[in-house]
Amino acid sequence: MSKRLFVKGNEAAAMGALEAGCRYYFGYPITPQSDIPEYLSRELPGLGGEFIQAESEVASINMLLGASACGKRAMTSSSSPGISLKQEGISYMAGSELPGVIINISRSGPGLGGIDASQSDYFQSVKGGGHGGYHIPVLAPNSVQEMYDLTMHAFDLADLYRTPVMVLGDSVVGQMKEALVPNPRPQRELPEKDWAVRGKGGGEQRVVKSLFLGDGELEAHNWKLHAKYQVMKEKEVMYETYLADDAELLVTGFGSVSRIAQTAIAMAREEGLKVGLFRPITLFPFPEKALAEAGIRAGRVLVVELNCGQMVEDVRLAVNGKAEVGFYGRPPGAGSLPSPEELLDVIRKSCARI
């Protein structure tokens, strides 16, 4: 068992990337994620990698596109406004079926907003933030350990499905320090990158592109991407439950807010309230089946988010009317992060109505 380190979430993500074999990083400063480029600017040169602080987030996602087109494991990171700037590039990568990891340590918005924790980028992340109706896997860590592990996993998903993958954290998960066990990279069977450009070298011409103008060509391409999403839904869903088996109220939340909810649930249990937690780890593919099962069994679901209500829509879709779905949101901003006591109060009220 490798030794435990005491590390910031942002740095854990960068460490996870290096352990996953990422040697190319292109980024741009923005609070609250700048520790990631700072860390990688120190580490990559010594590993024979390439670090570029680009002139903008737009340039950095396109540099990622270029390096990925050559078959290299590459990454970029930013925070909400910067992620908005990258959406066009992400859409091109999805359309060109290019792997790559994009870390969003989201901050509050809209506009300049603030630098506090926020989950307001949920829709942008899981519903395909750029043009053209694509999806990308979105992983939501709620601890420093998961910032490390899920970043490594993101690289495997990217290569397995030839797609960009997003790690969606926020300023709480990114800025807090916790113990980290830097596990070795999991060994996985990954497909050969026989599509990567490399200079013909006497072989066949290879082209990485997303333009398809032939009759029916782009429709077929869209269905091909869609089929990948179905496979992801079957094979790549990740979630975690806590005291959910006998729960009569299932609290549901991802990322940092799930940590607060877990404390509130433990306190509620001490008051004899049968409350449990369902935490989606993959926001896409969304754990529809598992959530529906647990939610219907409990009979009532309480969705908690650091926004005005986004994931709650997917929860309602999953439960499909077969259980009551309540919502408690704290749109992000200074002083808006709910305390466990505040959540406990909401839980009490939700239970009182049973």
Partner 1 sequence: MEQVFKRPVSLKDVQTHFCPGCHHGTIHRLVADAMDFHGVQQETIGVASVGCSVFLYGYFDIDVVEAPHGRASAVATGVKRARPDRFVFTYQGDGDLAAIGTAEIIHAANRGEDITVVFVNNTTYGMTGGQMAPTTLVGQKTSTSPYGRDRKKDGSPIKMAELLAQLGGVAYSARVAVDSPKNLIQAKKVMREAFGYQAQGKGFSFVEVLSACPTNWGMTPLKANARVGEEMIPYFQLGIFKQEGNE
Q: Which is nearer to partner 1, 3 or 200 (CB)?
A: 200
Neighbours of 336 (CB within 10 A): 15
Q: Give the span between the Cα atoms of 129 and 305, in whole angstroms.
A: 19
For partner 1, give the closer residue by CB, 206 or 349: 206
Contact between 307 and 119 under an 8 Å Cβ cutoff? The reply is yes
**CB-nearer residue toward partner 1: 89 or 141:** 89
Smallest gap from Cβ 200 to partner 1, in A, equals: 5
| Tokens linked to 114 | 């603030």
Return the number of the residue (112 or 211) whose C-beta is nearest partner 1.
211
- For partner 1, the closer of residues 70 and 238 by Cβ is 70
- Reference 236, options 196, 280, 191; nearest CA is 280
- Closest approach of partner 1 to the CB of residue 352, in Å: 53
Q: CA 201, CA 140: separation in Å to the nearest integer?
A: 41
Q: Provide, rounded to whole angstroms, the least separation between the CB of residue 55 and partner 1.
A: 4
Between residues 24 and 286, which has the closer beta carbon with respect to partner 1?
24
At 7, list the tokens.
Answer: 């590390």
Residue with tokens 């990688």: 40
Q: How far is CA 338 from the centre of its chain?
A: 22
Looking at the Cβ atoms of 28 and 254, the one nearer to partner 1 is 28
> Whole-number minimum distance, CB 188 to partner 1, in Å?
22
Our CA angle for 57, 58, 64, nearest 5°, is 85
Sequence-separated (6 or more) residues with CB below 8 Å from residue 119 = 106, 170, 254, 255, 256, 257, 305, 306, 307, 310, 311, 332
Residue 94 beta carbon to partner 1: minimum distance, rounded to whole angstroms: 12
Q: Closest distance between partner 1 and the C-beta of residue 192, in Å?
A: 17
Rg (CA), the chain: 20
Please identify, using beta-carbon distances, which residue of 54 and 176 lies nearer to partner 1. Answer: 54
Rounded least distance, CB 128 to partner 1, Å:
16
DSSP 116-182: S---TTHHHHHTTSSSSS----EE---SHHHHHHHHHHHHHHHHHHTSEEEEEEEHHHHH-EEEE--
Residue placing its CB nearer to partner 1 in the complex, 56 or 339: 56
**Residue 274 Cβ vs partner 1, minimum distance, rounded to whole Å:** 52
Q: What is the rounded distance in angstroms from the CA atom of residue 248 to the CA atom of residue 244?
A: 8
Residues 301, 324: Cα–Cα separation, whole Å: 6
- CB of residue 99 vs partner 1: minimum separation in angstroms? 13
- Residue numbers at the binding site for partner 1 (CB under 8 A): 24, 26, 50, 52, 54-56, 58-60, 62-72, 74, 88-89, 92, 96, 197-202, 205-211
